[in-house]
Amino acid sequence: MEKKLFTDCHIVDVVNRSVFTGSILVENGIIQEVGSDVSAEQAEVISLGGSYVMPGLFNCHTHMCLPPDPAVNFNRNDCQITMLALNHLQQYLKTGVTFIRDVGGVNFIDIDIRNAGKKGQISAPDMQVSGKCICMTGGHGWQMAREADGPDDCRKAAREQLRAGADWIKVMGTGGVMTEGVEPGSPQLDEEELRAAITEGHKAGAKSCTHSQGMTGIKNALRAGVDSIEHGFYMDDWCFDWMKEHNVFYVPTLAAMYWIKTNGTSAGIPESAVRKVNAAFEDHLNTFRNAYQAGVKIVLGTDAGTPFNPHDKTAYEIILMTEAGMDIWDALRAGTILAAEMCGVEKTHGSIECGKKANLAVFSKNPIDCPETVMDCQMTVLGGNIVYQA
């Protein structure tokens, strides 16, 4: 029996939107007690020196197998990709990220890594993975996806991902920024194709997410029963009402657009990608603001692995969301308890409460008063164990 008492800290309570001084008692990786008067015999006492403790952050749109190169490179072999992914996972841990949802791997490497993490063979965030994305022939991301055409083929493609062990089914509802020759607003898999893949996932208890940037593709995916919209450049009130009624989450990935626009063609990003981003940038921000005002559930994800969008800057999405008008508490909740809800792990993750896994991120200042402090993680605790300390 292993007991640890994290003491002399300020606890950021994302459920009740409050910060209080106290201690956290952890036993065998699970939080046993939280409060201002917590003590325990035979516990290892870890003083945090007045630091601020948050639940470990979530990043719910990652590509662990992809480095943030200026242009997508599909010339690496599986060994090289695996080494990259393992390094990226360490970057997450060093920045307070203790849970990721990976939504597009290469050759099922993401599933193998998830399995190794569950067995304790590697040090890595807790994670859910999707295997290969499902796209139409020549569709967005086709170089690393399972291409499928027609409902029957999409159904089979989903079954292949489930057989491999995917937690989520990722479907491509529209074109995207980084694939040459496709446009973000153009529909790709149609409603029946999307429904076939999504239904197969739901039958097996797997949720579904869709890369959908244009409104037609988004509405196709919503009517087909998708569980989360990724990117979502163009949405209207019909979309927001549907999402609220059917508990569909929105993962806007503001960082993906931001880093491309900030760096541009002079940094080596393809002209076609920069053009697409410049055309949609302000519309994307406006959709984010409108979705927030409408009360859509928004979750933090960065699309890490796209150009200049690194795996060690998850928290920058919090900064971007607040700069776009989101309240800091809502931004922190997007990266903790709401993310846990979307992933179906809110009973075990996402907040500092008794009975939950002791996944913690420690910062020097109060993130409510100083949002930028989330960019400087001082300590990461995964399952009660300190896996990073500055």
Mean residue pLDDT across the chain = 97
Q: Are 104 and 98 in contact (CB under 8 A)?
A: no
The Cβ of residue 105 has, within 10 Å, a number of other Cβ atoms equal to 29
Above 90 in pLDDT, residue 180?
no
How much is the pTM? 0.97
Q: Is 330 helix (H, G, I), strand (E, B) or coil?
A: helix
Domain boundaries, the chain: 3-56+351-389, 57-342
Helices then strands (H, E): number in the chain?
11, 16
Question: Given CA atoms 311, 312, 314, 317 in this order, what sign does their dihedral have?
Answer: negative
Q: pLDDT, tens digit, for every residue of 72-86?
A: 888 999 999 999 999
Q: How far apart are CA 240 and CA 256, in angstroms?
A: 22
One-character DSSP codes across 294-310: HT--B-----BTBTT--
Q: pLDDT, tens digit, for every residue of 97-113?
A: 999 999 999 999 999 99
Q: pLDDT, tens digit, for every residue of 192-216?
A: 999 999 999 999 999 999 999 999 9
| Distances, alpha carbon 366 to alpha carbons 34, 52, 157, in Å | 18, 6, 46
Above 80 in pLDDT, residue 7?
yes
Q: pLDDT, tens digit, for every residue of 365-378?
A: 999 999 999 999 99
| Selection from 46, 20, 17 nearest residue 35 by Cα | 20
Above 90 in pLDDT, residue 93?
yes
Is the domain defined by 3-56+351-389 classed in CATH 3.30.1490.20? no
- 379, two tokens: 């300590």
pLDDT band at 363 (very low <50, low <70, confident <90, very high): very high
For residues 179-187, give the mean pLDDT: 92
Q: pLDDT, tens digit, for every residue of 139-177?
A: 999 999 999 999 999 999 999 999 999 999 999 999 999
pLDDT band at 344 (very low <50, low <70, confident <90, very high): very high
Residue 285 CA, chain-centre distance (Å), reads 18
For residues 236-250, give the mean pLDDT: 98
pLDDT for the residue 40: 81
pLDDT for the residue 280: 97
pLDDT for the residue 310: 98
pLDDT for the residue 1: 59
pLDDT band at 35 (very low <50, low <70, confident <90, very high): very high
**Sheet bearing 385-389, strands edge to edge:** 30-35, 18-27, 3-13, 44-55, 360-363, 377-382, 385-389
Q: What percent of the chain has pLDDT over 90?
A: 96
For residues 48-69, give the mean pLDDT: 98
Is the domain defined by 57-342 classed in CATH 3.40.50.300? no
Q: pLDDT, tens digit, for every residue of 254-308?
A: 999 999 999 999 999 999 999 999 999 999 999 999 999 999 999 999 999 999 9
Judge whether 3-56+351-389 and 57-342 match in fold. Answer: no
For residues 25-29, give the mean pLDDT: 96
